[in-house]
Amino acid sequence: MSWARKILRVNLTTGDCSSEPLNMEWAAQYLGQRGLGTKYLVEETDPTVDPFSPDNKLIIATGPLTGTIASTAGRWSVITKSPLTGAIACSNSGGFFGAELKTAGWDMIIFEGKSPKPVYLFIKDDNCELLPADDLWGTSVWHTEPAIKEKHGDDKIKVASIGEAGENGVLFAAVVNDLDRAAGRSGVGAVMGSKNLKAIAARGTKGVQVNDPRAFMQSTMAAKKVLAEHTVTGEGLPTYGTQVLMNIINESGALPTENARDGQFEGAEKISGEAMHETTADGHKNLVSNNACFACTIGCARVSKINPKHVSVKDRPEYQKESGGLEYEAAWAMGASTKVDDLDALTFANFLCNEHGMDPISFGSTVAAAMELYDVGAITEEQVGYPLTFGSADALMKIAEQTGKGEGFGVEIGMGSKRLCEKYGHPEFSMTVKGQEFPAYDPRGVQGMGLAYATSNRGGCHLRGYTVSSEVLGLPVKTDPHVTEGKAELAKAFQDLTAMIDSSGLCIFTSFALGLDDYQPQIQAACEGDFSGEKLLEIGERIWNIERKYNLAAGLTGKDDTLPKRLLKDAIKSGPTKGMVNRLDEMLPEYYKLRGWSEDGEPTAATLGRLNLV
């Protein structure tokens, strides 16, 4: 029960679509979504494969709770080898697409090969076929999704697609579903584009069954009550979305600013969640409403509208509409990191990221690196076509459109900051871990986050071990963000629990309020078999280690578990964290020991044996 017990295998080279049974032994060991998709990728691909080779596979995976009545049970993931990092990629999304795929009767889709021509996959319950997408190729997500719905005469179809960024090989291209939800990180959209796969469209009518309906109803209702009564999931996130963090992190001195030259941004308040609520002198308010994904009782998503008088849209009616508003990470990357404090300009750039299918974190961070390259004269106005200065909203808006469309200097931005900075002679300007731009928390001001970034299997990422929850927000317990003691244990605990949640079909934001004792009864009631709390944590640890094992086979080593030298050597210049650097060297050896890894960061034979990974 809960699993559909079916995989759809799609050979893009031959055009064949076939059904096969889900490996239930693996499901018991990896649960679903992130874990199970990773297991299939590991078993079916060579870790040294070129990410753009037809031999690299693209896996779309749901969790056992996806499509159920559990709060936030709309999650799904894209698993592949990342073209941005060369490491394993698993990018998580919400919206409604994942639940629709699950209710159509599929746990997972495995795409292999490469189509000779652009195609999209259409799924209606058991009926699956590849259809021509020549008329969709070269268009944006905002065109593709409604065009597919119109073509099939069914507005209930849910679509996940790539925009022009994915087609053009932008290394941080996303797969976007429901117009503004995205599997955004690590370039999964570029892999999809390399296979000439434009979209996946799903319509499901089967529903999802659980093993013990009565117990499942009781456990999900109890969890929803906890979420509703918690200050973060019941008040902060519904009201301000993730943007509730902008002023909090800035005031703590941990907001990377001007490409991490400093840790506070004087314009943070102008681009915060509170600012999105404010009404301007001419009567405009950026925030229209909040929004929720499938089965979500939190509703953290934003719906925004740009001031029609703003330079970005005053002559462009296509952007004078309500669409997905700024999340905290996007507002930081395109705002604090570039020193742009124009809320409407950031919203416009965010619209472009959704429309063309780009990760706003990597995009904004790469633009910030380019601005520093411009600042030191490594790139010039002649090369870019306009001044690319810190704080320039005009430059941000222009480069966002160029990157999405693959035009002008946007082609350079599409390489990501690591390759961009190497090309122009300043690799130290790239704020990346394993080639992926890290997000909106300065590891100099939040020590545990530095360890989480450095050891993340998919490169710089906050969603693989959100120690900020404890270090800044005090959840589930408060720890001092400025000390290194205990942070190895903290990071490991967050990483293992997160891997399990990501594999269940639920949203990681529930973990602000829920603990293992809240997740366990939901999973146990939904799924057949024994899923004790101890087993669920072991599943999370197993997932972390199989990802690590894949990365080591792909050529990464313990030397890649590091941070940009700026964060290790250059102290924050001002604010409450002035004088601080990240002390990774104090945390990493203890972390390896707790993980059961060697001094070089390799899982020992005993660890692999205990986790059944030999």
**Residue type at 559?**
K
Is residue 230 one of the residues assigned to a domain? Answer: no
Question: Do residues 142 and 270 share a domain?
Answer: no
Token pair listed for 155: 């507005």
Region 578-603 average pLDDT: 98
Share of the chain above pLDDT 90, in %: 100
Is residue 370 one of the residues assigned to a domain? Answer: yes
**Distance between CA atoms of residues 398 and 388, nearest Å:** 10
Strands 119-124 and 197-203: parallel
Domain boundary among 415, 436, 457: 436
SS3 category, 285: strand
Question: Do residues 58 and 172 share a domain?
Answer: yes
Region 593-610 average pLDDT: 98
Question: Do residues 449 and 596 share a domain?
Answer: yes
The chain-wide mean pLDDT, for the chain, equals 98
Question: Do residues 399 and 482 share a domain?
Answer: no
Region 300-312 average pLDDT: 97
Is residue 315 one of the residues assigned to a domain? Answer: yes
Name the DSSP letter for residue 200: E
Region 449-478 average pLDDT: 97
Question: Do residues 336 and 193 share a domain?
Answer: no
Residue 520: pLDDT band with limits 50, 70, 90: very high
Q: Is the pLDDT of residue 264 over 80?
A: yes
Give the other-Cβ count within 10 Å of 152's Cβ: 15
Looking at residue 13, which CATH number applies to its domain?
Answer: 3.60.9.10
Looking at residue 389, which CATH number applies to its domain?
Answer: 1.10.569.10
Residue 1: pLDDT band with limits 50, 70, 90: confident
> For residue 22, what pLDDT is reported?
98
Region 428-453 average pLDDT: 98
Region 226-243 average pLDDT: 98
Question: Do residues 463 and 543 share a domain?
Answer: yes
Residue 350: pLDDT band with limits 50, 70, 90: very high
Residue 574: pLDDT band with limits 50, 70, 90: very high
> For residue 339, what pLDDT is reported?
98
Is residue 521 one of the residues assigned to a domain? Answer: no
Question: Do residues 413 and 462 share a domain?
Answer: no
Span 2-15, pLDDT tens digits: 999 999 999 999 99
> For residue 249, what pLDDT is reported?
98
- Residues with Cβ < 8 Å from 500, sequence gap 6 or more? 31, 35, 519, 536, 537, 539, 540, 543
Region 199-206 average pLDDT: 98
Residue 112: pLDDT band with limits 50, 70, 90: very high
Residue 524: pLDDT band with limits 50, 70, 90: very high
Sheet holding 287-291, edge to edge: 287-291, 301-304, 323-324
- Residues with Cβ < 8 Å from 286, sequence gap 6 or more? 275, 276, 277, 278, 304, 305, 306, 307, 325, 343, 344, 347
Question: Do residues 539 and 556 share a domain?
Answer: yes
Is residue 154 one of the residues assigned to a domain? Answer: yes
Residue 206: pLDDT band with limits 50, 70, 90: very high
Domain boundary among 405, 421, 436: 436
Domain hosting 322: range is 241-436
**Distance between CA atoms of residues 268 and 340, nearest Å:** 9
Q: Is the pLDDT of residue 510 over 80?
A: yes
Question: Do residues 311 and 351 share a domain?
Answer: yes
**Residue type at 11?**
N
Question: Do residues 257 and 319 share a domain?
Answer: yes
Question: Do residues 335 and 255 share a domain?
Answer: yes
Burial 132-150 (b: 16+ CB within 10 A, else e): ebeebbebbbbebbebbbe
> Is residue 579 packed enough to be buried (19+ CB in 10 Å), middle (13-18) or exposed (0-12)?
exposed
Question: Do residues 193 and 157 share a domain?
Answer: yes
Region 439-448 average pLDDT: 98
**Distance between CA atoms of residues 151 and 11, nearest Å:** 24
Is residue 359 one of the residues assigned to a domain? Answer: yes
pTM for this structure? 0.98
SS3 category, 116: coil
Is residue 143 one of the residues assigned to a domain? Answer: yes
- Count the domains in the chain: 3
> For residue 607, what pLDDT is reported?
98
Domain boundary among 436, 468, 496: 436
Name the DSSP letter for residue 66: T
Looking at residue 575, which CATH number applies to its domain?
Answer: 1.10.599.10
Rounded CA Rg of the chain? 22
Is residue 193 one of the residues assigned to a domain? Answer: yes
Region 307-320 average pLDDT: 95
Q: Is the pLDDT of residue 113 over 90?
A: yes
